[in-house]
Amino acid sequence: VATWNLQGASATTESKWNINVRQLVSGENAVDILAVQEAGSPPSTAVDTGRVIPSPGIPVRELIWNLSTNSKPQQVYIYFSAVDALGGRVNLALVSNRQADEVFVLSPVRQGGRPLLGIRIGNDAFFTAHAIAARNNDAPELVEEVYSFFRDSRDPVHQALNWMI
């Protein structure tokens, strides 16, 4: 598992996705899960799966991105949330070498804050978050929100999950 801030990747060139993200999720030392902040737009070569993901007014897309060739595909799943309605720069994404069993979207903990995006694979949940910067930092509350979500869940599967941000 790794995390990476793309600092607002651009869809026109995809360079940050094609260089930074591709290096982290492919090859011999690839990570299984990559949490991405400031994801910009997803790579234009990623294909929407059409999976409907319920969320609290925060759209989430599941995409498949082929990192190799059509004859020897190496596909990863991208879970992409366009949380930045204004500039599209500080969106969130999770990249996984396996399709998620479940996708989580937790609402922002403060006005002007960002939601949390998570996926479950088996008994493990992985989240990406982008805290508010500077003196109004909401990082502790984001951690508490995930903790409370699983602690207070009525679903015994959720209560037993291992999770990380």
Please, what is the end-to-end C-alpha distance for the chain in angstroms? 10
**pLDDT for the residue numbered 16:** 84
Q: Quick one: pLDDT at residue 141?
A: 95
pLDDT in tens, the chain (165 residues): 999 998 876 555 557 888 889 999 998 899 999 999 999 889 989 999 999 898 878 889 999 999 987 788 889 999 999 887 666 678 999 999 999 999 999 999 988 888 999 999 999 999 999 998 877 889 999 999 999 999 999 999 999 999 999
How many whole angstroms separate alpha carbon 79 and alpha carbon 151? Answer: 24
CA pair distance 127, 163, nearest whole angstrom: 8
Q: What is the pLDDT of residue 133?
A: 81
2-164 domain in CATH 3.40.50.1820? Answer: no
Res 67: pLDDT: 92
pTM of this structure: 0.91
Backbone torsions φ then ψ of 151, nearest 5 degrees? -60, -40
Q: What is the pLDDT of residue 19?
A: 83
pLDDT at 118: 97
What residues does each domain of the chain span? Answer: 2-164
- Residue-level length of the chain: 165
